[in-house]
Amino acid sequence: MCLSLAMAYEALDCIGDPTRREILTLLRGGERSVRELTDELPVSQPAVSQHLKVLRGAGLVSSRTEGTRNLYRVDLDGLAGVRAWVDQFWDDALDSFVRYTEEKS
């Protein structure tokens, strides 16, 4: 299995968790601190931190330090592998559609 495919599988496994999906959704609006995320979620700060650790490990979020805070954001490069994996199914569907329309013509 190629490295990028393995990374896409890891990312897909990671976003199987509803809290992690919600964190990604919240981060779509821009950078947020752990505290800001915790204020929006029904889980504790340690749980948010653990979810962020998993998301970082899967390459789906990145962070930067500003003073004493870590600010997290969606890592678009990490999402590229997931998109490529999903796109292959879309490509298959389009190819099937083209074949179907050519057969009916």
Spell out the domains of the chain, with CATH numbers in brackets. 3-104 (1.10.10.10)
Question: Considering Cα of 76, then 28, then 89, then 99, what sign does the dihedral take?
Answer: negative
pTM metric for this prediction: 0.81
Confidence bin at 51 (pLDDT 50/70/90): very high
CA dist 61 → 1, 28, 93 (Å): 23, 11, 30
CB 31 within 8 A of CB 69: no
User: Is the per-residue pLDDT at 46 higher than 80?
Assistant: yes
Q: How many CB atoms lie under 10 A from the CB of residue 56? A: 16
